[in-house]
Structure 1
Amino acid sequence: MPTLAERLAAPGTVILADGAMGTNLFALGLAPGTAPETWLDERPDAIAALHRSFVAAGSEVILTCSFGGNPPRLALWGAEGRAFALNRRAAELARAAADASLRPVLVAGSVGPTWQTGEAAEDAMAAIFFEQIAGLKQGGIDFVWLETMVSAAETRAAAMAAIAAGLSYVATASFDHRGLTPAGLAPAGFAAAFDGLARPPLAIGANCGDGPASALAIAGALPRPAGAALALKPNCGLPAPGPDGARHAIGPADLAAFAAAARAAGATLVGGCCGTTPGHVRAMREALDRRVACN
């Protein structure tokens, strides 16, 4: 199977990733405020089924259920000592879904921030992420996806951990309509986090945030290391309260329009974040395929 680097190097390529993990699991019954990683033990069948649904909808990259799989986040529910095992299980579930497909599907190990405040030594932060990434690697991921990153320090530490594990990586940060992460990091500062590293990211860009419009704005403002592709994986707008609970306003047709706009903006790796269902991904797949057919 071609690697992500090989796929990204192919002329005219736009690779479709998957949608949300957390919001889809909440829709299936995961209790609000509960970490999705708890279902790696309790409902692995639901996680596996969601992976298969995204593959069936046309995803060429699926992300593991491990966004909060670093020890500090796992400590919130007393599972910090199981970081390696839980991440390995998350990778195994995604790997099985990918390998069952009749077409090539890559597995990305999802690595999110620790959300810790205060200063920490770069090597200490890298060690935290390395434990998580080592478990993902043993479970069979193809590359690491650093997502919803908010600070340059954690981004760099997580990238160092991926490199130490011998894995390529993609990195996306969460930018709002002002072009800043929750920690106040601007696109140029995010890009600078990779300066001097032994291996640059295969792609950098934006995920989550407050919707497709912000992601497309970042596409024009984000400096990229030489050779790095552009990755955009926004959410379906910020959730708004409704009679049946919070809902994301952006539907499949709108996210399909985003996929086409992202291609025009130079993105070669696209997908969706919070609120993105297999139905959204299917609409994005059809939009991207229509463009290929027209060409």
Structure 2
Amino acid sequence: MPNSYSDPYQRIQQLIADHQCVILDGGIATELQQIGLKDFRLSDKQLWGTWGLYNAPRATLDVHRRYIDAGCNIISTDTWAIMNAPEMEARTSVASAGPSHWMDIARLGVRLVRQAIDEAGKKDQCAVAFSLNGDVDNVQRQGTLELLARVFEEDPPDLILMETLSLIRENLTFPAIEMMLGTGLPVWLSFRRCRHGVCGVYGQHWGGPEGDLFGRAARRFEKMGIGGLMINCLPIDHVPDMLPWLRDFTDLPLGVYPNLGHYLDPGWKFDDNVGPEDYARLALQWREEGAQIVGGCCGVTPEHIDAARRALANTKPGCTSGRLAKDSTSAKLRADRKAKAPARWLDDKQRDLFPLSFPEIVCDRGVFQPTQGSFLLWKYLFNSGVGKGKRCLDVGCGTGILTIQLALNGARQVHAVDIQREAVANTLANAFRNHVTDRVSGAAVDLYTYLPEQKYDLVVASLYQMPVDPMGEFIGHRPVDFWGRNLLDHLIRLLPDMLADKGTAYLMQISILSQLATAELMEAAGLESRVIDFSFHYFGPAFDENIDQIRRVEQMSDAYHLEFGQDNAIVMYLIEAKLKPKQSA
């Protein structure tokens, strides 16, 4: 165990004292993807980039060399997912060449960075940061940290970087940090947080209201002896105003290293719209907000880092303590609620309603069956006949009842998407049963990574919505859903890219989600919306299991449900959304 800080780390401290910007490296895992390694699929399920230490150490070494050539002051080990490694090794063979032990992999991670630094002749100029995903959410992972301390006795890095932290758990987060401080090595922390609180890799705000909890934690980190505090692995548009807010609470060196692009699971979609010089301009803005450490996370390349380093040379961090973030509150929208007329034996189109002309739908095993919300939306499609001659998109198609009805309404094209391949196959089979295969196509996609290839005249979606307590165990880049609205919110943000100029979207929302939050998102996305129908549904088992979280959300927002004695019910709203007319110049 080192008795004092290493020379490279002392140089980092001096750079900060001299008001020079410390340059951290960028994404390692995403650079390994760029190389095109055989059998490498960038995913939380395959130890993220740490897979490279098991299977492609030479490629990992080459990535380190490129970041050293870019002028980084700190090079991170390729060990971000090392905390998952013991569990992964217990289930399957991680290395293609045979058994490997995660503690040896941790040592290799340090040695490869040392080798790259030594080869470049920068032994005293570059510090080695041991990277680890710092979210410790169970006792087993506390034991893994204890064993890492033994690794550091033989192969110590210059500092430990506990990164991509999220929730602050009194009984887990602080003991884990204390354990790493007990090694005698400098410890830096980095959180995936913005001014709105905990957020996900796509920018979702999922942690619930916290007030100044994180600011007070920052103060506590400083008293514990932490050496630096940063934010990382979040979209670039979530960086502004975070460092000035933190500066009110702490004098720790502050830094930022966000993502560029989107996680595809597996794989990473790089952002071609933000080149090296663009990133450098962003880095200057972060510097003006007080950043003393600047780097990059997933999707940020050595070229981005090199451009940022050159732009930040001879600059000083801004002093913006006390400047509040610019909170923008959208106007509160009022929805026009129109109840559907009671069903008649014959509707206004003279269609026989007994028996109802419902499509022939077979529900395959394992496919999410239609919900009351799906039936509400189907009823509108049936009654209105919308979609004739239109290009339509069904998001979260399930068994395909909305897709089929749009095709029966005379749609020119209906494209059905769902994260489950079995659901897409079920939809296409039901299209065959209803003789509309010539107008129906389908694809298995993840909504968070979905990039629409065309504009649609009509979009329909009845998505899963359920508030979930975030304090349970979770691993990886995907967030849990405190408010129950992650999918709905993400779809609303995508609508401007999905809808044609005069296009329309029909979305289902349940009453245990905030109406105000939806209205604000619609306004921010340039959409006008109204309620065109609603219905009622008694709680099922899933709602009963999450009743405590549902009540918590209702206490914190305008969400609600109805109570009838011992029974609970929700209201299901059908929302119509359109792009606002463009203002003439």
After superposition, where does 1:171-182 map in structure 2 within 5 Å?
Answer: 171-175=189-193, 178-182=196-200
Match for residue 135 of structure 1 among 147, 151, 176: 151
* Alpha-carbon contact 1:252-1:284 (below 8 Å) kept: yes
Instruction: Report the Cα offset of residue 96 of structure 1.
Output: 1.5
Supply the distance in 1 between the matched residues of 2:126 and 2:221 (Cα, whole angstroms): 31
**1:3 counterpart (9, 12, 29):** 9
Q: Which of 39, 42, 46 matches 2:52?
A: 39
Q: Which runs of 4+ in 1 moved over 4 A?
A: 223-226
Letter matched to residue 270 of structure 2? R
C-alpha displacement at 1:40, in angstroms? 1.1
**Do 1:84 and 1:134's aligned partners in 2 also have CA atoms closer than 8 Å?**
no
CA pair 198-56 structure 1, distance change in 2 beyond 3 A: same
The correspondence for 1:148, drawn from 164, 170, 173, is 164
- The CA deviation string for residues 75-116 of structure 1, in whole angstroms up to 9 with x for no partner, is 135369933221111111112112333340001010103575
Distance 1:12 1:290 in 2: 9
State how far apart, in whole Å, the 1-side matches of 2:207 and 2:225 are: 23
| Contact 2:244/2:290 (<8 A) preserved | no
Instruction: Please name the residue that 1:165 is paired with.
Output: 183
Which one has a bigger Cα radius of gyration? 2
**Which letter does structure 1 place at the counterpart of 2:277?**
A
Could you state the TM-score of these two structures normalised by the residue count of structure 2?
0.44
Deviations 1:175-203 (A, max 9, x none): 25733245617584334446278732111
- Between the aligned partners of 2:112 and 2:187, the Cα distance in structure 1 is 20
CA distance in 2, matches of 1:45, 1:199: 38
* 1:250 CA displacement: 2.5
> Counterpart in 2 of 1:252?
276
User: What corresponds to 2:226 in structure 1?
Assistant: 201
Name the amino acid aligned to 1:281: I
CA distance in structure 2 between the aligned counterparts of 1:3 and 1:224, rounded to whole angstroms? 26
Aligned to 1:106: 127
1:276 to 2:300 alignment: yes
Distance 1:17 1:130, change over 3 A: same
Q: Do the aligned partners of residues 199 and 177 (structure 1) sit closer, same or farther apart at CA in structure 2, a change above 3 Å counting?
A: closer
Distance verdict in 2 for CA 1:221–1:240, change over 3 Å: farther
Q: Secondary structure at the match of 2:131?
A: strand
Answer whether contact 1:87 1:136 (CA < 8 A) is retained: no
1:162 CA drift (Å): 1.3
Structure 1 residue 227, shift from structure 2 partner: 3.8
Instruction: Give the equivalent residue in structure 2 for 1:26.
Output: 33
Identity of aligned residues (%): 22
Counterparts in 2 of 1:160 and 1:27: CA distance versus 1, 3 Å: same
Q: Which residue of 1 aligns with 2:534?
A: none
Aligned-partner SS, 1:221: helix
- Bigger strand share: 2
Larger helix fraction of residues: 1
TM-score, normalised to structure 1's length? 0.83
State the match for 2:19 in structure 1: 12
Aligned equivalents of 2:249 and 2:153: distance in 1?
25
Task: Give 1:85's aligned residue.
Answer: 104
Q: Give the 3-state SS of the residue equivalent to 1:90 in structure 2.
A: helix
In the aligned structure 2, how far is the partner of 1:89 from the partner of 1:187?
41
Decide whether the 8 Å contact of 1:180 with 1:187 is kept in 2. Answer: no
Shift of 1:267: 1.2
How much has 1:160 moved relative to structure 2?
Answer: 1.3
Using CA pairs below 8 Å that are at least 6 residues apart, which structure has the higher relative contact order? 1
Matched residues, number: 283
Q: Which residue of 2 aligns with 1:56?
A: 69
Query: Does the aligned pair in 2 maintain the 1:230–1:267 contact within 8 Å?
Result: yes
Aligned-pair CA distance for 1:256: 0.6
SS at match of 1:222: helix
Cα contact 1:109–1:141 (8 A) shared by 2? yes
- SS at the partner of 1:272? coil
Greater alpha carbon shift after TM alignment, 86-95 vs 192-201: 192-201
Match of 1:3, SS state, is helix
Give ranges in structure 1 of 5+ residues lacking alignment.
none
Q: Which runs of 5+ in 2 are unaligned?
A: 1-6, 201-205, 317-585
Matches within 5 A, 1:64-75: 64-70=77-83, 72-75=84-87
After alignment, is 185-194 or 38-47 more displaced? 185-194
SS at match of 2:19: coil
Structure 1 residues 152 and 265: alpha-carbon distance in aligned structure 2, compared to 1, 3 A threshold: same
> Counterpart amino acid of 2:57?
P
* Contact 2:76/2:113, CA 8 A, preserved across alignment: yes
Matched letter for residue 258 of structure 1: L
Deviations 1:251-295 (A, max 9, x none): 212211122112211111110001011111111111112648xxx
Note closer, same or farther for the CA distance 1:158–1:258 as it changes in structure 2 (3 Å cut): farther
Instruction: Say whether the 8 Å CA contact 2:227–2:253 is kept in structure 1.
Output: yes
The counterpart of 1:190, out of the listed 194, 214, 223, is 214
